[in-house]
Structure 1
Amino acid sequence: MSLTPGPQRIVCLTEETTEWLYLLGQEHRIVGISGYTVRPRRAREEKPKVSAFLNAKIDRILALQPDSVFGFSDLQADIAAELIRAGVQVTVFNQRSVEEICSMLYQVAAVVGCTGEGLAWIDATRRQLDGIRAAVQALQAQGRRRPRVFFEEWDEPHISGIRWVSELLGIAGGDDVFPELAAMPLGKDRIIADGAEIVRRNPDIVIGSWCGKKFRAEKVAARTGWEAVNAVRNGQLFEIKSADILQPGPAALTDGVAQMHRIVIDWMQRHG
């Protein structure tokens, strides 16, 4: 008798592993998810919600008798430690770049016996990213310049985009106006204390993704001194939902980068 490889009862403490397991057709293995999960939407209807991001219902997770728990980053270290002490196998990924996201996807696919399917999806996604790069290069060859972009992950205080966002923005055709902060893995290290520095860097486009809070373009435009910013003067203030770009998994590599690319390409086509 053949055995199905890998864990059979998985709890996903963040959205990206849930979405990935659904894409692999392995959603039957999931017994619990994060309450912040919106991709895929049907997961919210089908799976028990057992965690937020910084905290989790440990008793409820243990009652589900998971044989594996997937988490993300040092921010979930305390949850992981408590589950490990209770005898649960926990894998915490810490992907911060596009390549690290692909590595995480490969590892999860391998764990559930879907290495081939996982590699095929990753390869197809890489080709799509290459196509986006090529479209940008074609416009640059016509003399179109790349826009300077401020990606705002939070508004009060201002927090700029994390590494995978900055990398995907570059692929999409924009230049991050705070590239030196993108390498900082923690949000507190990407805080821009002086909002006047954003004005000085004068982005052509502002993209907001306020970690689940609705982006308010009118609030951005009303900031002191921002009337001089190109993005405000030209009405180039946009929102990308955090579920589409701030989860380091399939969404960012597909919908997130595609949305940034549409914004950037539209700007490039209208500017020399």
Structure 2
Amino acid sequence: MSIRTLTALLALSLGSALATQYPLTVTDDLGRRVTLNSEPKRIVAMLPSHTETLVALGVGNHLVGIDRFSNYPREVTDKIPKVGSGFQPNIEAIVALKPDLVLADESASSRLTEKLEKAGLTVYGGTAQTYNEVFEKISTIGKLVNREPQALNLITSLRRDLNEVQNLVRGAPKVSVYYEVDPSGYTAGPNSFIGSLLDKAGGRNVIPANLGDFPKISPELVVSASPSVIINAKAEDVAKRPGWNTIAAVKNGKVYQPTSEEIDALSRPGPRLAVALRVLAKLLHPERF
């Protein structure tokens, strides 16, 4: 038997071993037991990270609806109906698409999962908040849509790409950094997926971990911490804030606004995690690139 034949047989065997068995019941992030009786063929994704994961797993053709923020990859997302967002969903439009699975946010404030469940739809509510949860969610989604081998391959390649970037900044001195989620004061704590990326990129997050994963903080905290780098803010806007002109990053011209595509990668805990890490590493340690 040739090596090529043996490899093909092993791949076939692995695929069969990892094939999802239906009916399948999983527990989502809301503690709900979600049951699928068969492989879903009509899927609605209400978060960009879910959309990107499904496309990366090779089931983009099963998407019949996506949230209005899903825009990557455009050759897929431009062709799919938009059905609002997690906080402003078009429930009637979602129901009219007759999905056999909806992937939604677990946020209690959006109440999307509850609304769709009342409409008789099968809904999985859950997103990654931490670095390790990114891989867990890819694995879970792969299981839900009968693409476990593809999920394993995606996780393996993603970890490889992440390791390559980490190797580029290994040994570099840590740079104090503040990551701004939005100008109202929301930021990323050290234990969030963004916080973990900052650490792996050679940064030292100035936000205390005990404030949570995505806390709203007072401007005075950033002023007193005086980070060397500020990411995801406009230099001219930051300089106008009371006291911020004393911050090291502002004084030294190290306030960076990534491109819109880079921000999308940074804010979506999914297949583009390594892209996000490279963006951060290049901003914190440009000398290594």
TM bin, normalised by shorter chain, reads: 0.7 to 0.9
Pick the structure with more helix per residue.
1
Q: What residue is the counterpart of 1:260 in the other structure? A: 280
Q: What residue is the counterpart of 1:73 in the other structure? A: 106
Count of aligned residue pairs for this structure pair: 249
Q: TM-score, normalised by structure 1?
A: 0.85
Separation in 2 of the partners of 1:82 and 1:200?
44
Q: TM-score, normalised by structure 2?
A: 0.80
Q: How far apart are residue 135 of structure 1 and its match?
A: 2.3
Q: How far apart are residue 35 of structure 1 and its match?
A: 0.5
Q: How far apart are residue 76 of structure 1 and its match?
A: 6.3
Seq. identity, %: 26
Q: What residue is the counterpart of 2:115 in the other structure? A: 82
Q: What residue is the counterpart of 2:266 in the other structure? A: 245
Counterpart AA for 2:206: V
Separation in 1 of the partners of 2:208 and 2:76?
35
Indicate which of 1, 6, 9 corresponds to 2:42: 9
Separation in 1 of the partners of 2:87 and 2:120?
20
Establish whether residue 56 from structure 1 lines up as the match of residue 89 from structure 2: yes
Q: Does the CA-based 8 Å contact 1:244-1:255 persist in structure 2?
A: yes
Separation in 1 of the partners of 2:283 and 2:61?
37
Q: 5 Å matches for 1:24-173? A: 24-75=57-108, 78-138=111-171, 140=172, 145-156=173-184, 158-162=185-189, 163-173=192-202
Q: What residue is the counterpart of 1:197 in the other structure? A: 221
Q: How far apart are residue 133 of structure 1 and its match?
A: 2.5
What does the per-residue CA deviation read over 1:19-61, in whole Å, with 9 as the maximum and x for residues that have no partner? 1111122111100000011211233421000021312111111
What does the per-residue CA deviation read over 1:83-115, in whole Å, with 9 as the maximum and x for residues that have no partner? 111211000114211111110011111222221
Alignment RMSD = 2.2
Q: What residue is the counterpart of 2:5 in the other structure? A: none
Separation in 1 of the partners of 2:257 and 2:136?
28
Q: Does the CA-based 8 Å contact 1:37-1:43 persist in structure 2?
A: no
Q: What residue is the counterpart of 2:247 in the other structure? A: 229
* Structure with larger Rg: 2
Unaligned runs of 5+ in 1: 209-214
Counterpart AA for 2:217: I
Unaligned runs of 5+ in 2: 1-21, 23-37
Q: How far apart are residue 269 of structure 1 and its match?
A: 5.7
Separation in 1 of the partners of 2:109 and 2:40?
21
Separation in 1 of the partners of 2:288 and 2:120?
56
Q: Secondary structure at the match of 1:149?
A: strand
Q: Does the CA-based 8 Å contact 2:56-2:154 persist in structure 1?
A: no
